[in-house]
């Protein structure tokens, strides 16, 4: 999977969740700044699993500093 595809997917999902435009989402910002509740995090994780095709721990968004870090982890795991 390409990094650009994952980045666009995250921007789309986060903009939907936060009710903002994709242009306002920075994948280098701390994940905590998005203030995702547990239900949103679990839903996002499940959607991400569907996209990448492998299991992802539900707490992934508390394990990494930024979405960019999550993307890099996914790309490494796919190798």
Positive or negative, the CA dihedral 51, 12, 7, 39 is negative
Q: In total, how many domains does the chain have? A: 1
Whether the CB-CB separation of 17 and 44 falls below 8 Å is answered with yes
Q: List Cα–Cα distances, 47 to 30, 41, 54, in angstroms.
A: 20, 10, 11
CA neighbor of 69 nearest in space, from 33, 20, 30, 43 = 30
Locate 43 and state its tokens. 């839903």
* CATH code (residue 16): 1.10.1200.10
Which of the 8 DSSP states describes residue 35?
-
29 band by pLDDT with thresholds 50, 70 and 90: very high
Q: pTM for this one?
A: 0.92
Q: Residue 39 is part of which domain span?
A: 3-78
Mean pLDDT of the chain: 94
Express each pLDDT in 40-59 by its tens digit.
999 999 999 999 999 999 89
């Amino acid at each position: 999977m390409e990094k650009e595809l994952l980045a666009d997917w995250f921007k789309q999902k986060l903009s939907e969740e936060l009710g903002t435009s994709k242009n306002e989402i920075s994948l280098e910002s701390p994940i905590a700044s998005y203030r995702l509740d547990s239900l949103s995090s679990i839903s996002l994780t499940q959607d991400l699993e569907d996209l990448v095709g492998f299991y992802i721990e539900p707490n992934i968004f508390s394990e990494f500093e930024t979405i960019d870090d999550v993307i890099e982890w996914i790309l490494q795991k796919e190798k």
